[in-house]
Structure 1
C-alpha cells in the first residue's frame, strides 16, 4: 500500500487541522493509553471545550479508623485534600473541566453524615509523569508514574511536596507517604471503580477511599 500523501496545490492554503489535545493521563501513558479498558477511555480522555465530565456513585469506605490521625486530617480537610472521617456508603459526585492551558481541574463532593465536603485538584503532565496539585491554593503536590495493568490505570506516587506561601518543600522519600490510585472498569456492574490508598513508612495504611460510579461527558450549561 502506498504511503505517499496528497500534495497541496501551489495556491492552496496550508491545512489547519490539528490533532486533538491529549489529557495529562494520555500524555503520561503514551501508546499504552490504548490498553485501557474501553469503559475507561471516556474518563481519561480530554474533556472538550465547553463540556464537563460528571460522575456519580458511592464510596464503600472513606478515611481512616486511626483517630489519632484526625487532627492532622482536619488541617488537610480545611485545604480540601483529605478529611478526618471513617465512614461507609458515602455518596459522592465528581466534575472534571479542562482549562485553556490543558490542566484538568476536578472537584469531588463527598456527602458525609456531618455534611458535604469538597476535594479539589488540578492535574497536568510534566516530565513524563502525572502531576496532581491538590487543595485550595495548591497546598499539596504529588507526582505519579502512570501504567496500565490488565486494562486498569495504576498511578503510583514518586514524590510528595507541600506548599507554604511561596515556599515549596519536598518531603524526603524515606518518610514521604506513598499514594496509589487504581481505576478499573467493572463489566459485571457496568461501572467504573476507583481505589485510593495512602501508606506511610512504619505506619502502614493511613487513609483510603474506594467505590464505584458512572461517568459521562456533558455540554456545560451556562449558569
Structure 2
C-alpha cells in the first residue's frame, strides 16, 4: 500500500467512525439524509475519495443507503447485513477439510433448538401452518428440484415461528452456504421419502408438545441428511 493510499484509508476510517457515532447517537436518525458529499468534505476537512470510501463502508454495514444522484440516507441495519458481510469468510471456511462439518453442526444446533422451543410454545395456528408446509413437501416427492425447495421452506417455517429475525437470517445463510453445494439425489423418490419421514417425525413431536422428542427428531433428521449427502459427494 502506497503512503498516499494508506493516509486516505486512515482518513476514511476516521470519517466512518465519526459518522457511525453520529448515526448511533441519532444526530442523523433513521430515514434522514446525511449532508452532501461537499458538506461532509468541509465538515471533516478531507477529500471526496475519503468521504466516498467512508460512505461505502457504512453502506456495507447497513447503516446507510446510497442511490446515485442522492444524498446517502440513514437506514436500520438488519441481521441480513451482518451475515452478508460474513459470506466471503464463510466460503473460505467451507473449502477447508472440516469446514462443511462445522457449518452442519452449527445448523444442527440452531434447528434442534428451534424444534425444542416450538414443542413448548407452538400455537394451534402455527401447527396448521407447519402441517401445510409438510403437505407441500409431500406433494413434491419424486420431483428433485421441487422437493428441495419445499424441504428448505419446511425448515424455514419452523425457524420463523420462533420469532427471532437473527435465527431466520442465520437459517437463510446456511441454506445459501450449504444447501447450494449439495447435488440432487440420483434416486429422488427414495431419498425424498426418507427426508419427508424425518419431517413427519419432527411435526409429530411438536404436535404432542414433547421438546425432547422434537429435538431428537430434528437431530436424527439432519444427521441422516448430512450422511446421505456426504456419501453421495465426490
Report the TM-score, using the length of structure 1 for normalisation: 0.23
The answer to which structure, 1 or 2, has the higher relative contact order (CA under 8 A, 6+ apart) is: 1
Bigger share in strand: 1
Is the radius of gyration larger for structure 1 or structure 2? 2
